[in-house]
Amino acid sequence: MPHRLMLLDTASLYFRAFYGVPDTIRRADGTPVNAVRGLLDMIARLTADYDATHLVACWDDDWRPQWRVDLIPSYKSHRVAAEVVAGPDIEVVPDALEAQIPMIRRVLELAGIAVVGEPGHEADDVVGTYASHAQLPVDVVTGDRDLFQVVDDARQVRVIYTARGMKNLEVLTDAVVVEKYRVLPGQYADYATLRGDSSDGLPGVAGIGEKTASSLLGEFGTLDGLLAAAADAGSGLSVSVRSKLAAATDYLAVAPAVVNVVRDLKLPTLEQAGAQLRPVAGDARAELEGLATEWNLGGSVTRLLEALDRRR
């Protein structure tokens, strides 16, 4: 089987599993396990359907990095449950999901699935770094549009988009991004900067929506090119757009650093991380099979083990 790397935007997936699988599925002590089950089923199906040979569960070591907040204070502010002075702020997470995150980590560990995060960075940055440097084809699995910027046909990087559910997965290539947004993947971060994104607390440029943003990038190529045109009286840029860009000068000076994923983190290599998928054997398999019963994970563990057994 040709090697192919799959990168999971893990939090995006376990949130989706939590809301997509009934929380009436519980352990004997009453703790819900719907997110654990849902995530394991996702991994089993995705690795089989897309022929993944390597897998990294990319982790939010810091879901709202302070350096991004320093640049745009509204960044994800609506999702803050409590501010923490000396560490990552506490995200609004349902208690029933919060209780399952340690279980998710334990099951992934026993299954031999690499979990990689980086202090001060989001999972998106881990994805961006691996996707930009991997020497094999890459599938990024996410329900967030932010990562459309890493799509790159030349490097065989695709996004498997889960926003419409596992029965309606969408595979994004260069052509699909262009069809949906009228910008190239390499322009997507600039497009998102101009348009804004209320789900991330990014205000965007007032008066510039999706159509205008794509039209401007189609004409001027990049945000830098657009700003250069705004500074050039002979560029032909309309007075209206110049005014809108001028009003957003402070935002546009910092937003690209917030919106663009980091692509140069010092992460373990795929080999160091243990990213290659293998059958689970020995004590790890015995414990995982035991937890399937103890934690009421049912067929989800069985399906994951079967998917990994095919990686012999």
Interval 243-284: pLDDT, tens: 999 999 999 999 999 999 999 999 999 999 999 999 999 999
Using CA atoms, how far apart are residues 116 and 5, in angstroms rounded to an integer?
14
Could you tell me the pLDDT band of residue 176, with boundaries at 50, 70 and 90? Answer: very high
Interval 241-254: pLDDT, tens: 999 999 999 999 99
Sign of CA dihedral 21, 26, 32, 37: negative
Could you tell me the pLDDT band of residue 20, with boundaries at 50, 70 and 90? Answer: very high
- Residue 139 region by backbone torsions, left for phi larger than 0, else alpha for psi between -120 and 50, else beta: beta
Residue 55: strand pairing partners = 6
Using CA atoms, how far apart are residues 202 and 258, in angstroms rounded to an integer?
9
User: How many Cβ atoms are within 10 Å of 298's Cβ, its own excluded?
Assistant: 15
CA distances from 48 to 6, 44, 180, 306 (A): 11, 6, 27, 10
Q: Across the chain, where does the E strand assignment appear?
A: 5-9, 54-58, 80-82, 90-91, 114-116, 138-142, 157-161, 170-172
Average the pLDDT over 102-117 and give the result: 98
Furthest CA-CA distance within the chain = 72
Interval 127-160: pLDDT, tens: 999 999 999 999 999 999 999 999 999 999 999 9
**How confident is the prediction for the chain on average, in pLDDT?**
96
CB 187 within 8 A of CB 62: no
Long-range pairs for 186-190: beta carbons < 8 A, 24 or more residues apart: 186/149, 186/152, 187/217, 187/221, 187/222, 188/148, 188/149, 188/151, 189/149, 189/256, 189/259, 189/260, 189/261, 190/217, 190/222, 190/223, 190/226, 190/256
Interval 63-92: pLDDT, tens: 999 999 999 999 999 999 888 877 788 899
